Chain A
Amino acid sequence: SYELTQPPSVSVSPGQTASITCSGEGLGDKYVCWYHQKAGQSPALVIYQDNKRPSGIPERFSGSNSGNTATLTISGTQAMDEADYYCQAWDSSHAVFGGGTKLTVL
């Protein structure tokens, strides 16, 4: 079965840029979404179709996808961005989630 790999944790200082990667075989040929999940809340979509932002998601969130790696970039990271982040790809109309990355803003 298809697998997506994320680093367990990423740390960033407030105002700096955070990058979270997601790796999978041939991932660049698939559409990737990104979700964040704050403690005790449901996941929320922040990027879809590799690099599109849903309405209401700040411009500081951006995405890219090429080769075997997709990347979520958060520019000017704020304390409110601290959360778990999950990538998700489509494999023959089946959704696959990555294991998640805990983003710490310190």
Chain B
Amino acid sequence: QVQLVQSGAEVKKPGASVKVSCKASGYTFSDHYMHWVRQAPGQGPEWMGWVNPKSGGTVYAHKFQGRVTMTRDTSISTAYMELSSLTSDDTALFYCARAGGDPGTFGMDVWGQGTTVTVSS
């Protein structure tokens, strides 16, 4: 079955970086863009951007531009999201989510289980 399995929880100090991985299985990895979404405690989802697994091309939300990097390794069907200059506001669940089709029109049809990132001194 189609699934996305994310890396485990992280605890980071302010100013550090975190890199979260998302391993896809059950479908052709390069056929679907991958989104990343942040959800702070008690808040709604917040879109961070997407990566095109075929080309490596990316589109980032303006809020995260300059601080986020999304990459992929097609040989192991894995997408990555790295966020730098962490602050306490980045304490959140981070999800990868597969684009069901054209990333500008289709929804995010498969979601990972989420990775908790805690930023604390």
Contact with A along B98-112 (1 / 0, CB 8 A): 001001111111011
Interface residues of A in 54-106 (CB under 8 A from B): 54, 84, 86, 88, 90, 93-100
Contact between A54 and B100 (Cβ–Cβ < 8 Å)? yes
Give complex CA distance A92, B47 in Å: 13
Give complex CA distance A97, B48 in Å: 11
Give complex CA distance A100, B46 in Å: 11
State the A residues within 8 Å of B (CB). Answer: 1, 31, 33, 35, 42-45, 47-49, 54, 84, 86, 88, 90, 93-100
Q: Cβ of B47: which chain A residues have Cβ within 8 Å of it?
A: 88, 94-97
Residue among A1, A42, A93, A94 with the highest chain B CB neighbour number at 10 A = A42
Instruction: Indicate whether B61 reaches chain A with its CB closer than 8 angstroms.
Output: yes
Contact between B45 and A48 (Cβ–Cβ < 8 Å)? no
Q: Cβ of B111: which chain A residues have Cβ within 8 Å of it?
A: 42-44
Contact between B44 and A86 (Cβ–Cβ < 8 Å)? yes
State the B residues within 8 Å of A (CB). Answer: 35, 37, 44-47, 59, 61-62, 95, 97, 100, 103-109, 111-114
20 extra interchain contacts, Cβ-Cβ under 8 A, other than A33-B107, A54-B109, A86-B44?
A: A31-B105, A35-B45, A35-B107, A35-B108, A42-B113, A43-B95, A44-B111, A45-B107, A49-B105, A49-B107, A54-B100, A54-B107, A88-B47, A88-B108, A90-B105, A95-B35, A96-B47, A97-B44, A97-B47, A98-B44
Give complex CA distance A94, B105 in Å: 10
Give complex CA distance A54, B108 in Å: 10
On whether A93 and B103 interact (CB within 8 A), knowing A42-B114, A43-B111, the answer reads yes
B78 to chain A, nearest CB (A): 18
Q: Cβ of B62: which chain A residues have Cβ within 8 Å of it?
A: 1, 94
For A92, the closest partner residue in chain B by CB is B104
Q: Cβ of B106: which chain A residues have Cβ within 8 Å of it?
A: 33, 48-49
